[in-house]
Amino acid sequence: MVDQIANRMTLTFPSDREVVVTRAFDAPRSLAFEAMTRCEHMARWWGPRGYDLTVCEIDLRPGGAYRFVQRSPDGGNHPFKGVYREIVAPERIVFTQIYDVEPINAHEVIVTNTLSEQAGRTTLSQHLLFDSLESRDGMIASGMEWGEAQSFERLTELLAELQRGGSNGAAAGPEFVFEHDFEAPRDLVWKAWTEPQRLAKWWGPAGFEMSVRSLDLRPGGVFHYSMQMPNGPLMWGKFVYREVVPQERIVFVNSFSDEKGGVTRNPWIAGWPLEVLNAVALTEHDGKTRLTMRGGPINATEEELQAFRGGLAGMEQGFAGAFAQLDRYLAEALARA
């Protein structure tokens, strides 16, 4: 049995206890994952139109709990809770879900969200496993199809806004997305991103000698650094931090700079954007850390957007080299521990 909801969402019923919801979004997977796991985003789409998410508590790790309370237009509260079983960002989230009202809270649903990306478009496959046929049919009778369809329409609108630069952590225009797995725990990777003596070991192109002028790790704080090119001039750069969530997330604006901390032009690429907004997310699984880095121009002209598009391949190559240096540093740090 297959139903089409508003020609956008597909429901299938593989067995008496299962429902699979499939929906495509015109947004990169990393952004969709972020919108599905951060309360400031979920408050804007989770639930049908007219419903408000008044409570959102998320501990995004295997074994971590969450709690949501949804308020309907008539003032009624609808509480949900559960525990995360598996987090593989930005690919997969597995969690339990309980509608926390007696006697319904005796029944638990296991939800598996899988995100796949092709050509910048993300497909969500949401698998729901109920404890009985009666539980499944009761959920469907309560308006599940209608609620899911409305929620995903709201999510579509939010993702479009985030890509236009309508929220902290999302850039406007073309976007760069880079993922890398490190054979190291998240705590060590976090330190490598946030401690000056560690950053100096790997940030920047291979062969450059980096020096840290200052690092103030807080929203509004600045990381100011120099890089000495082999047999070449001294260059400067800086981050201005927008968001810092220890162990999990850093959002910052990256610019070329000068000795005084000003903003300068890229010395190699004419028309390169003066400011690039980057969001770095770290997730840990079995002692390994996955980094997802997303970035794009802000406050950019059309010429700067075109220059950024033309430089995406070079950026990927540059970050691959920098993260290879970080791989080596992490391996050495673990060997010394």
DSSP string, 187-213: HHHHHHHH-HHHHTTTSSSTTPEEEEE
* Total domain count, the chain: 2
113 and 218 together in one domain: no
210 and 107 together in one domain: no
Indicate the helix (H) or strand (E) that contains 332. helix 312-336
With respect to residue 170, please indicate whether it lies within any of the assigned structural domains: no
187 and 244 together in one domain: yes
103 and 152 together in one domain: yes
Q: How far is CA 103 from the centre of its chain?
A: 36
Separation CA 330–CA 337 (nearest Å): 11
Separation CA 208–CA 333 (nearest Å): 20
SS percent in the chain: helix, strand, coil, step 5: 25, 40, 35
Question: Could you report how far apart the first and last alpha carbons of the chain are, in Å?
Answer: 56
Q: Per residue of the chain (337 residues), what is the pLDDT tens digit?
A: 333 333 378 999 999 999 999 999 988 888 899 899 988 889 899 999 889 999 999 998 999 999 999 999 889 999 999 999 999 988 999 999 999 999 999 999 999 999 998 877 899 999 999 999 999 999 999 889 989 999 999 999 888 877 765 444 444 457 788 889 999 999 999 999 999 999 999 998 888 899 999 999 998 899 999 999 888 889 999 999 988 889 988 989 999 999 999 999 998 888 999 999 898 989 988 899 999 888 888 878 888 888 998 988 888 888 999 999 999 999 999 999 8
Separation CA 21–CA 16 (nearest Å): 15
Domain boundary among 102, 130, 163: 163
What confidence score (pLDDT) does residue 125 get?
97
- Token readout for 6 is 């508003």
Segments forming the whole domain that contains residue 61: 2-163
Separation CA 331–CA 329 (nearest Å): 5
What confidence score (pLDDT) does residue 128 get?
97
153 and 263 together in one domain: no
With respect to residue 168, please indicate whether it lies within any of the assigned structural domains: no
15 and 157 together in one domain: yes
With respect to residue 58, please indicate whether it lies within any of the assigned structural domains: yes
With respect to residue 171, please indicate whether it lies within any of the assigned structural domains: no
Indicate the helix (H) or strand (E) that contains 154. helix 144-163
Helix axes 186-194, 312-336, angle to 10 degrees: 120
132 and 199 together in one domain: no
239 and 294 together in one domain: yes
248 and 313 together in one domain: yes
| 333, 318, 33, 112: CA torsion to nearest 10 | -60
With respect to residue 302, please indicate whether it lies within any of the assigned structural domains: yes
What confidence score (pLDDT) does residue 164 get?
64
105 and 194 together in one domain: no
Residue located via tokens 């949501």? 68
Residue 208's CATH number: 3.30.530.20
